[in-house]
Amino acid sequence: MKNSFGHIFRLTTFGESHGEALGGIIDGMPAGIDVDMDFVQRQVDRRRPGQSRLVTARNEADQVEVLSGVFEGRTTGQPIGFVVRNQNQHSNDYENLRNLFRPSHADFTYWQKYGIRDHRGGGRSSARETVSRVVAGAFAMLALRQLGISIQAYTQQVGNIALPGTYEDYDLSLTETNDVRCPDAPTAEKMAELITQVKAEGDTIGGIVACVVKGCPTGLGEPAFGKLQAELARAMLSINAAKGFDYGMGFEGVTQRGSEQNDPFIMDEDGEIATLTNHSGGIQGGISNGQDIYFRVAFKPVATLLREQRTVTIEGEPTTLTARGRHDACVLPRAVPIVEAMTAITLIDNYLLNKTTRL
Half-sphere exposure of 289 (CA within 13 A, CB side): 22
| Phi and psi, residue 262, nearest 5° | -55, 145
Tell whether the torsion through CA atoms of 282, 287, 288 and 289 is positive or negative: negative
CB of residue 262 to a copy of itself, shortest distance in Å: 4
Listed in sequence order, the residues at least 6 apart from 5 whose beta carbon sits closer than 8 Å to its beta carbon are 11, 12, 234, 235, 238, 342, 345
State yes or no: residue 249 binds a copy of itself (CB under 8 A).
yes
Minimum CB distance to a copy of itself, residue 113 (Å): 4
Q: Which is nearer to a copy of itself, 44 or 302 (CB)?
A: 302
Site for a copy of itself in 163-192 (CB under 8 A): none
Out of 56, 175, 187, 289, name the contact with a copy of itself by CB under 8 A. 289
Find the binding residues for a copy of itself in span 317-346 (CB under 8 A). Answer: 318
Please compute Rg for the chain using Cα positions.
21
Question: Least CB distance from residue 232 to a copy of itself, whole Å?
Answer: 8
Of 177 and 260, which CB lies nearer to a copy of itself in the complex structure? 260
**Which span (39-47, 50-58, 80-88, 170-178) binds a copy of itself, by CB under 8 A?**
80-88
Binding status of residue 251 toward a copy of itself by CB under 8 A: yes
Give CA–CA dist 225/119, Å, rounded.
36
**Taking CB under 8 A as the rule, does residue 248 contact a copy of itself?**
yes
Q: Distance between CA atoms of 209 and 226, rounded to whole angstroms?
A: 23
Q: Which is nearer to a copy of itself, 177 or 235 (CB)?
A: 235
Contact 56, 49 (CB under 8 A): yes
Q: How far apart are CA 96 and CA 114, in angstroms?
A: 20
Q: Does 139 bind a copy of itself (CB under 8 A)?
A: no
